[in-house]
A and B are shown apart, each in its own frame.
Chain A
Amino acid sequence: MKLLTGNDLASGDVIWWTGKGWSRHIGEAVDVGDEGDAILAREEQARRVNVAYIVDAEQTDSGPLPNHIKERIRASGPTVRTDLAINADIPIVRA
């Protein structure tokens, strides 16, 4: 599956495309299929997201999980400060 991510322009928060808008929780992200580029162009233009891009991921029982570790850490928060993590349950290193 393909997810859209970027940062909120004003706060810098990592955000994910939910089909209706942007969420800080990757669990709410949806597969954008081939629509990614079109959505990104529209959303960046409207300044609802900054420095956005498409991420490869897979659907798991606990929700979408990006293939690359960097995106998993973005989705979770710093692994060394789980007190600040937005979703500390995301497996960073895959079994």
Chain B
Amino acid sequence: MYLYDSYDQAMVDARVEEFRDQARRRLAGELTEDQFKPLRLMNGLYLQLHAYMLRVAVPYGTLSSRKMRMLAHIARKYDRGYGHFTTRQNIQYNWIKLEDAPDILADLATVEMHAIQTSGNCIRNISSDQYAGVAADEITDPRPWAELLRQWSSFHPEFTYLPRKFKICVIASANDRAAMRLHDIGLELVERDGRIGARVFAGGGMGRTPMVAPEIRDFVEEDELVSYLEACLRVYNRYGRRDNKFKARIKILVHELGVDEYRRQVEEEFAHMRQLGIQPPTEELDRIRAYFAPPVYETGLPEEVDRSDPDFALWLDRNVLPHKQPGYAIVNISLKPVGGIPGDASADQIDLMADLAERHSLDQLRVTHAQNIVLPYVKKADLYTIWQQLDAAGLGTANLDRISDMIACPGLDYCSLANARSIPVAQKIARRFAGNGKEEAIGELKLKISGCINACGHHHAGHIGILGVDRKGTENYQLLLGGSGAEDCSLGAITGPGFTEDGVVDAIERATDLYLAQRQEGERFLDTYRRLGMAPFKEAIYG
């Protein structure tokens, strides 16, 4: 894992002191809320429905046990004993006091963490594959690139006031586990003629106008990638719509210019950037790479796992994935207990996950965009003891990629932008399908819920998506089918008129019953939907 050098630490420490002074001036009345709001947002501090909310950056979802314990400490000392892991691989706290915020940032800085650029019209946390470094299908570890881009984008003076927020994702396998093409820029590291470089996709995103990012270049050499991204951002910064917030994302620019024209402008700018020599020296990427060198794996470890405990065996089948190293496994810890709040974890649970990582996963954890936690380096021989401890703490739910492993944004229970609640719907769906046994029969089904059009809950990318809307002051839910955030990326289509909270649960059951009746060998819900099209599902849902 990357460790701060003296520059990183000095920057973060200086920001804490700057914010301490800004908060003091606000509390003393020297700053108005209008003056203070952009300053607090630059430090991830929002004002939400019930209190201030602090969003802490987890760079490309990577945490050490020490950092994880700090997240528990903050939940316990400054919040109400829990935190919420988000689809941006970050964590949010819902009950923060302004007067505590500078101390929280100071505590975070002691473990090389912060909340900088988790809000505002800047380049946000770089996201990546939660299995980076351990997935058998990756061609290289994407984390050094993600870290290079983190450093490049942190406090980048030219990109601090972009037309709108900007999200970048880096993956390194053909299997997309990070919704790469639904980012403003998506990078897929690929190999060509023995060299590593990046395929570049630009102009993806969800929200009001969802778009799958088109490819704008099939290969950028690694020693030119920063210059190329600089060119992409420059064109956007210059021509992105600043007159209309709803048209300000890069996806609208790419769409309005057309991919070819956007690409042409980027190439022109890229030619110029090359001459400027702004590309960091390759030694810098090598320096960063050294932090992500593969660990010294033990060899000769047993492959066999005793499956005699049926609950454990179920969890093994659902939540444990193959590792590229013999004798090791990747453990997914579901933060989706049936009837629980997707993505929430208590301080005690966060501490337990930190302890397990320290003892059994080379001190490392990952946050996934599906709001779960990963232990990436687990010896198979340790799986049973890990599961027992997780299970005892309410973290042993065996439902990875099943219907109850759903993404849900905070919705109207916490979010001031929401139209409708997300969490109660998520809970009802999980209870219904876990209770009637259909979850098991259905198999993989990615369900995603957003409480408003901003789509933090990725509803466009759900095999089944739910969007909360406000219908004359009451909560109403639109249903979408056929989305995917994976390598077969697609956007869901709305089925028709919306539903009440209970109505949408019934509608999903009718859609999944049709799937169970019509599926062919090996088909997931998404595959059957794609084969049959919307019409029979509509018929089943609305009858």
Do B423 and A12 touch (CB < 8 A)? no
Do A80 and B413 touch (CB < 8 A)? yes
A67 with B473, Cβ < 8 A, contacts A10-B99, A80-B341, A80-B423 known: yes
Do A69 and B97 touch (CB < 8 A)? no
B295 proximal to A (CB < 8 A): no
Give a binary string over A36-72; 1 marks a CB under 8 Å from any B CB, 0 the rest. Answer: 0000000010010011000000000000000111100
Do B97 and A73 touch (CB < 8 A)? no
Which residue of B47, B95, B414, B473 is within 8 Å of A68 (Cβ)?
B473
One of B48-56, B301-309, B534-542 contacting the partner: B48-56
B33 proximal to A (CB < 8 A): yes
A12 with B47, Cβ < 8 A, contacts A69-B475, A70-B412, A80-B423 known: yes
Residues on B with beta carbons closer than 8 Å to the beta carbon of A73: 49, 412-413, 421
A77 proximal to B (CB < 8 A): yes
A74 proximal to B (CB < 8 A): yes
Do B33 and A10 touch (CB < 8 A)? no
B474 proximal to A (CB < 8 A): yes
Write the chain A residue with the least CB distance to B26. Answer: A9
A80 with B427, Cβ < 8 A, contacts A10-B27, A73-B413 known: yes
Write the chain B residue with the least CB distance to A52. Answer: B33
Give a binary string over B11-45; 1 marks a CB under 8 Å from any A CB, 0 the rest. Answer: 00000000000000011010001000000000000
Residues on B with beta carbons closer than 8 Å to the beta carbon of A68: 473
Residues on A with beta carbons closer than 8 Å to the beta carbon of B414: 78
A64: shortest Cβ distance to chain B, in Å?
17
User: Which secondary structure dominates where chain B touches chain A?
Assistant: mixed
Residues on A with beta carbons closer than 8 Å to the beta carbon of B212: none
Do B413 and A79 touch (CB < 8 A)? yes
Size class of the contact patch on chain A: 20 to 34
B80 proximal to A (CB < 8 A): yes
A50 with B341, Cβ < 8 A, contacts A10-B98, A12-B98 known: no
A85: shortest Cβ distance to chain B, in Å?
10
Do B50 and A78 touch (CB < 8 A)? yes
Could you tell me which residues of chain A, from 5 to 47, have a CB within 8 Å of some CB in chain B? 7, 9-14, 44, 47
A93 proximal to B (CB < 8 A): yes
Do B97 and A80 touch (CB < 8 A)? no
B96 proximal to A (CB < 8 A): yes
B326 proximal to A (CB < 8 A): no
Residues on A with beta carbons closer than 8 Å to the beta carbon of B416: 70
A32: shortest Cβ distance to chain B, in Å?
21
Do B473 and A69 touch (CB < 8 A)? yes
Write the chain B residue with the least CB distance to A73. Answer: B412
Residues on B with beta carbons closer than 8 Å to the beta carbon of A93: 474-475
Do A14 and B50 touch (CB < 8 A)? yes
B424 proximal to A (CB < 8 A): yes
A12 with B413, Cβ < 8 A, contacts A50-B33, A79-B421, A80-B423 known: no
Could you tell me which residues of chain A, from 69 to 95, have a CB within 8 Å of some CB in chain B? 69-70, 73-74, 77-81, 84, 93
A13 to B99 Cα, complex, angstroms: 12
Residues on B with beta carbons closer than 8 Å to the beta carbon of A81: 341, 413
B99: shortest Cβ distance to chain A, in Å?
5
Do B33 and A13 touch (CB < 8 A)? no
A67 to B473 Cα, complex, angstroms: 8
B2: shortest Cβ distance to chain A, in Å?
33
A14 to B416 Cα, complex, angstroms: 12
A40: shortest Cβ distance to chain B, in Å?
12
Residues on A with beta carbons closer than 8 Å to the beta carbon of B474: 69, 93
A53: shortest Cβ distance to chain B, in Å?
12
Residues on B with beta carbons closer than 8 Å to the beta carbon of A80: 341, 413, 421, 423-424, 427
Residues on A with beta carbons closer than 8 Å to the beta carbon of B421: 73, 79-80
B98: shortest Cβ distance to chain A, in Å?
6
A11 to B96 Cα, complex, angstroms: 7
A41 to B424 Cα, complex, angstroms: 37
A68 to B472 Cα, complex, angstroms: 10
A93 to B421 Cα, complex, angstroms: 11
Do A69 and B80 touch (CB < 8 A)? no
Do B427 and A51 touch (CB < 8 A)? no
Write the chain B residue with the least CB distance to A44. Answer: B33
Residues on A with beta carbons closer than 8 Å to the beta carbon of B29: 47
A10 to B413 Cα, complex, angstroms: 22
Residues on A with beta carbons closer than 8 Å to the beta carbon of B424: 79-80
A58: shortest Cβ distance to chain B, in Å?
13
A71: shortest Cβ distance to chain B, in Å?
10
Residues on B with beta carbons closer than 8 Å to the beta carbon of A10: 27, 97-99
Do A51 and B47 touch (CB < 8 A)? yes
A70 to B26 Cα, complex, angstroms: 27
Could you tell me which residues of chain B, from 413 to 430, have a CB within 8 Å of some CB in chain A? 413-414, 416, 418, 421, 423-424, 427
A9 with B49, Cβ < 8 A, contacts A69-B474, A73-B413, A80-B423 known: no
A72: shortest Cβ distance to chain B, in Å?
10
Residues on B with beta carbons closer than 8 Å to the beta carbon of A7: 47, 51
A10: shortest Cβ distance to chain B, in Å?
5
A61 to B33 Cα, complex, angstroms: 36
Other than the given A11-B98, A69-B473, 13 more pairs (CB < 8 A) read A7-B51, A10-B99, A11-B99, A13-B50, A13-B51, A14-B51, A47-B29, A69-B412, A69-B475, A79-B424, A80-B413, A80-B424, A93-B474
Nearest 7 pairs of A and B residues by beta carbon: A12-B51, A12-B52, A78-B413, A80-B423, A10-B99, A11-B97, A47-B29
Q: List 16 A-B contacts (CB under 8 A).
A: A9-B26, A10-B97, A10-B99, A12-B47, A12-B51, A12-B95, A12-B98, A13-B51, A14-B51, A44-B33, A50-B33, A69-B474, A73-B412, A79-B421, A80-B413, A80-B427
B-contacting residues of A (Cβ < 8 Å)? 7, 9-14, 44, 47, 50-51, 67-70, 73-74, 77-81, 84, 93
